Chains A and B, each alone.
Chain A
Amino acid sequence: MSLPIEKLEEEFQAKIDAGHSIEPKDWMPEKYRKTHIRQISQHAHSEIVGMLPEGNWITRTPSLRRKVALLAKVQDEAGHGLYLYSAAETLGISRDELFEQLHSGKAKYSSIFNYPTLSWADIGAIGWLVDGAAIINQVMLTRTSYGPYARAMVRICKEESFHQRQGYEIMLTLCRGTEVQKQMAQDSLNRWWWPSLMMFGPVDAESTHTEQSMKWKIKRKTNDELRQQFIDITVPQADFLGITVPDPDLKWNEEKGQYDFGAIDWDEFWQVVKGNGPCNKERLDTRRQAFEEGAWVREAALAYAEKKEKAKDLAKAV
């Protein structure tokens, strides 16, 4: 008693239009499944690779207070990666396949993590801008149509707000410090501002996935809407710090009630996406190395579990 595919697709769309969640065992179009695997796994990979630029500063934080905060943040990113991998696995892809896609370069992760963290201020800027941009995207995704993804997002959003606040606090401390410290914060904003705007993806007219994603309520706002929202929230925060957003065309548009901003260098964006960013190779090499060098731990854990299981069976037998 199987329904024709058109009928199933119609019912599926009706369910989404009515605001119902799609759960793992529900029927879904193959493209919906594939799109979700791609998006959730990219998101998971971003969390995992995102640990690397920040991990770089754990041993060099200016104080113990900063160190425990940064450690906790990086640990959260690992947790977020795990929530998301689990959500992706509910769609029928295995963890090994997901890792393989990351390590072979087949799957993408957010390009922002291919930029280097050159100074301590970069840890501040990442928390403030990169996590800030991620939060805007993720708050939208708490209402995404796929249940396990939406639930992972709720959890992640609760945890992200500390990330952004700790980042801003670092910036604030630097900006209230010496002239050199303030300059360090400014330099960091200069380097991270444009890549942060690029995190929202290509402009709507160029975005290949947006239309279908909106129809399926995978996304509920377009790239440009989210980017504008981020700019409008973030510019006053830069003003508060007393540092300047590196965009000569940035100005408040009274009529629209939002900021106008200058052209984004999309060539740079595509270069980094294609693997030619400053750290693409280093990030992937580090990931692969960690995975390969950890293989014996995974195997040993399994061998130990099997040994204990056998011992239990033996004890039962006698």
Chain B
Amino acid sequence: MNKWPLWEVFIRSKSGLEHRHVGSLHAADATMAMENARDVYTRRQEGVSIWVVPSKAITASNPEHSGELFEPAQDKAYRHPTFYDLPNELKHI
């Protein structure tokens, strides 16, 4: 069982929406991962499209480094519309 690699499953719940991570499963290959994903994660029409990705292909950020990783965005309030002072009577902007 351990020799069956782990796959991450992403599902698009309906057209127009993005694929979202729903969970993972073990499968011998991509075809089996796809079939298992269908049986495990879409038994009640939860999806119109499935991605299966080998878990080992994912590079994840390290939570211990979250501070320095996300720090650069912290002091950039000017990236948000509310940073700019405009008169209230102004419309559609």
Contacts and interface: CB of A to CB of B under 8 A. Distances in A.
A pairs with B? yes
Given A75-B43, A79-B43, A83-B23, A26 B63 contact: yes
Interface residues of A, number: 27
A6 interface: no
Contacts of A301: 4, 28-29, 32
Interface of A is mostly: helix
A26 B2 CA distance: 24
Interface stretch (A50-58, A94-102, A136-144): A94-102
Contacts of B89: none
A235 to B, nearest CB: 31
A86 B9 CA distance: 12
Contacts of A298: 1, 4, 28
B1 A99 contact: yes
A152 B23 contact: yes
A309 to B, nearest CB: 8
B2 A76 contact: no
B69 interface: no
B1 A95 contact: yes
Contacts of A86: 23-25
A86 B37 CA distance: 13
Contacts of A305: 28-29, 32
Nearest to A295: B1
A95 B62 contact: no
A25 B60 contact: yes
A124 B53 CA distance: 40
Q: Report which residue of B6, B24, B60 has the largest number of chain A beta carbons within 10 angstroms of its beta carbon.
A: B24
Interface in A276-318: 298, 301-302, 304-305, 308-309
Given A76-B43, A95-B2, A304 B28 contact: yes
B63 A23 contact: yes
B85 interface: no
Nearest to B66: A26
Contacts of A187: none
Nearest to A303: B28
A89 B7 CA distance: 12
A27 interface: yes
B75 interface: no
Interface in A55-80: 72, 75-76, 79
Contact of A94 (B2, B23, B44): B2
B1 A82 contact: no
Nearest to A82: B40
Nearest to A99: B1
Contacts of B60: 25
Interface in B1-34: 1-4, 6, 22-26, 28-29, 32
B63 A96 contact: no
Given A152-B23, A302-B4, 5 more contacts: A25-B63, A26-B63, A86-B24, A95-B1, A155-B23
24 contacts: A23-B63, A25-B60, A26-B63, A27-B64, A76-B43, A79-B40, A82-B25, A82-B40, A83-B23, A83-B40, A86-B23, A95-B2, A99-B1, A159-B44, A298-B4, A298-B28, A301-B4, A301-B28, A301-B29, A301-B32, A302-B4, A304-B28, A305-B32, A308-B29
